[in-house]
Amino acid sequence: MVEIKNKEHCNGCSSCAASCPKKCITMVRDKLGFFYPMVDKDACVHCELCISVCPEQKKAQPVTVTPLAYAAIGKEHTIREKSSSGGVFTLIAQWILSKGGVVFGAAFDDTAHSVNHIAIESLEDLHKLQGSKYLQSKIGNSFEKAKSYLEQGRTVLFSGTPCQIAGLKSFLKKDYERLYLQDIACHGVPAPAVWDAYLTDLEHQFGGKASHVSFRDKRKSWKKYLLRIEFENGNVYSNNNAEDLYMRGFLHDCYLRPSCYACKHKGLGRDSDITLADYWGIEQIHPELDDDQGTSLVIVSSPKGEELLQQIADEISLTPTDLNRAIEYNTALITAAKDNPARKKFENEFQKKPLRSLLKKYASTSFFKKLKRKIKRFLKL
Ligand SMILES: Cc1cc2nc3c(=O)[nH]c(=O)nc-3n(C[C@H](O)[C@H](O)[C@H](O)COP(=O)(O)OP(=O)(O)OC[C@H]3O[C@@H](n4cnc5c(N)ncnc54)[C@H](O)[C@@H]3O)c2cc1C
């Protein structure tokens, strides 16, 4: 029976709960809002299916293909504007929907306080999946739903983090001709409870409920993107990723899921057909493609990934690129987040002290400099 002794060994994908024949596994939130399986021991029949489908238990497969890589820009400006990088996800999703397919991806709930994986079947709903949401999304029963659509012969695009894609693949246990898997480059997923508390704090400050959140507002620049929150009363909060306290805590790795610090789903031998990333370093590698409005790095790992790109070829400008050079500017593609010594302290103090003061304390550069100095002094003793 699945038992989480070390949180680094669970990415929260829910493949165990989805596979349980007795439905005796519930995904339960911890203090930071991350989901972990809890087994009803009286109902468990010890079939061990939950363990056999856990993607964290699987050994990494040797890389057998050299992925192709491209710099890609969606030609339609309005799509690119709403997307985190070059808008490739939207174009792929549009093609799947035009074939009568179903697209799974991460969407805010109505309040923007949490993010869930949902299935959409129409273009009108596609806006819900566009754009990065920097907190872990809840998979819920998406894996079972995807399987059911596939069994009905429907085409399915499943988009998610590399660990979610690994979880789905493991849950399905076999290949489906009509299944397309797309993952994102993933720095790591921040704690849902921290985002919830942060948004609540801003709602108090701005005197109203949030009506729209964009983590990647490109109004000023793609590279120095803004977190922009519109409130029902017309107020607007907008701050860049270096100044906003939540984004600072995320990028300083203060509250990622513990498994992100030991992530084994990165690298070039991915479970997905196609990987989408921000093409950081574009101004150095292909300066002619950099207009600071967002360029995607697209990594194709299978013939299905190639097919997806071919289907949208007329709608993007595509330039073959050197993957190794691109990785130099985007190490999250191959390496797990570095463990942050302040992470445990942050978690211990979360909900006990005001969030803003905690973020100021742990997500400021000066804190790390101070810590580094302290460690250096300690080592010299
Ligand atoms: C938590 C997180 C960390 C990331 N870290 C990096 C990084 O280090 N380097 C990098 O190059 N790119 C990173 N990205 C990916 C990048 O920001 C873009 O999502 C990607 O380039 C696709 O962009 P797009 O323009 O094609 O489409 P977009 O419309 O921006 O992409 C939307 C897609 O992202 C998925 N998505 C959004 N939020 C989540 C979420 N919380 N969980 C799972 N899936 C989600 C949606 O389901 C949808 O399929 C990260 C994204 C997230 C959510």
Rounded average pLDDT over 253-281: 94
Atom of ligand 1 nearest to the CA of 103: 49
The pLDDT of residue 81 is above 80 = yes
Task: Tell me how far the alpha carbon of residue 299 lies from the centroid of ligand 1, in angstroms.
Answer: 14
Atom 19, ligand 1: which residue's CA is nearest? 132
Q: What CA–CA distance (Å, rounded) separates 134 from 215?
A: 7
With a Cβ cut-off of 6 Å, ligand 1 is lined by 83-90, 105-106, 115, 129-135, 137, 159-161, 184-187, 189, 276-278, 296, 330, 332
Of the CATH numbers 1.10.260, 3.40.640, 2.160.20, 3.40.50, which one belongs to the domain with range 68-190+255-333? 3.40.640
Which ligand 1 atom sits closest to the C-alpha of 87?
25
Q: How far is the CA of 343 from the centre of ligand 1 (A)?
A: 23
Number of the ligand 1 atom closest to the C-alpha atom of 135? 41
Over residues 153-162, mean pLDDT: 98
**pLDDT of 274-286, one tens digit each?**
999 999 999 999 9
> Cα-Cα-Cα-Cα dihedral of 65, 15, 216, 248, to 10°?
-100
Are 251 and 150 within 8 A, CB to CB? no
Which residues of the chain does CATH 3.40.640 include? 68-190+255-333
Instruction: Tell me the per-residue pLDDT of 185-202, one tens digit each, with 9 for 90 and over.
Output: 999 999 999 999 999 999
Question: Structure pTM?
Answer: 0.94
Report the C-alpha gap between 230 and 103 in whole angstroms.
Answer: 27
**Share above pLDDT 70 across residues of the chain, in percent, rounded to a whole number:** 95
Q: What is the pLDDT of residues 97-141, one digit of tens each?
A: 999 999 999 999 999 999 999 999 999 999 999 999 999 999 999
CA of 132 to the centre of ligand 1 (A): 4
Nearest ligand 1 atom to alpha carbon 182: 49
Length of the chain: 381
Distance in Å, CA 53 to ligand 1 centroid: 25
Residue 49 has pLDDT above 70, yes or no: yes
The stretch 44-70 carries a mean pLDDT of 88
pLDDT grade, residue 154 (50/70/90)?
A: very high
Residues of the chain with CATH 3.30.70.20: 7-52
| Percent of the chain as helix, strand, coil, to the nearest 5 | 35, 20, 40
Start-end of H helices in 103-182: 142-151, 162-172
Of all protein residues, the one whose alpha carbon is nearest to atom 37 of ligand 1 is 132
Atom of ligand 1 nearest to the CA of 82: 29
Q: For 207-250, how does the pLDDT look when each residue is reduced to its tens digit (9 = 90+)?
A: 999 999 999 999 999 998 899 999 999 999 999 988 999 999 99
Domain 7-52 has CATH 3.30.70.20: yes
Atom of ligand 1 nearest to the CA of 159: 49
User: Which ligand 1 atom is nearest residue 279's CA?
Assistant: 11
pLDDT at 224: 87
- Cα(162) to ligand 1 centroid in Å equals 11
Our mutation pick for probing the ligand 1 site, out of 135, 182, 184, counting the most ligand atoms within 8 A of Cβ, is: 184
For ligand 1, what atom is nearest to the CA of residue 134? 1
Residue 186 CA to ligand 1 centre (angstroms): 7
Q: Is the pLDDT of residue 58 over 90?
A: no
The total of other beta-carbon atoms located within 10 Å of residue 237's CB is 18
- Ligand 1 centroid–CA 131 distance in Å is 7
Q: How far is the CA of 272 from the centre of ligand 1 (A)?
A: 14
More confident residue, 222 or 2: 222
As a three-state string, the secondary structure of the chain is: CCCCCCHHHCCCCCHHHHHCCCCCEEEEECCCCCEEEEECCCCCCCCCHHHHCCCCCCCCCCCCCCCEEEEEEECCHHHHHHCCCCCHHHHHHHHHHHCCCEEEEEEECCCCCCEEEEEECCHHHHHHCCCCCCCCCECCCHHHHHHHHHHCCCCEEEEECHHHHHHHHHHHCCCCCCEEEEEECCCCCECHHHHHHHHHHHHHHHCCCEEEEEEEECCCCCCCCEEEEEECCCCEEEEECCCCHHHHHHHCCCCECHHHHHCCCCCCCCCCCEEEEECCCHHHHCHHHCCCCCCEEEEECCHHHHHHHHHCHHHEEEEECCHHHHHHCCHHHCCCCCCCCCHHHHHHHECCECHHHHHHHHCCHHHHHHHHHHHHHHHHC
Contact 20, 177 (CB under 8 A): no
Can you give the pLDDT at residue 369? 60
Ligand 1 pocket, mutate which of 90, 108, 132, 186 (most atoms under 8 A from CB): 132
Q: Using one digit for the tens of pLDDT, what is the confidence trace for 325-375?
A: 999 999 999 999 999 989 999 999 999 999 999 999 998 765 556 566 667
Residue, of 295 and 372, whose pLDDT is higher: 295
pLDDT category at 25 given cuts 50, 70, 90 is very high
Q: What angle do CA 89, 289, 310 make, to 5 degrees?
A: 40
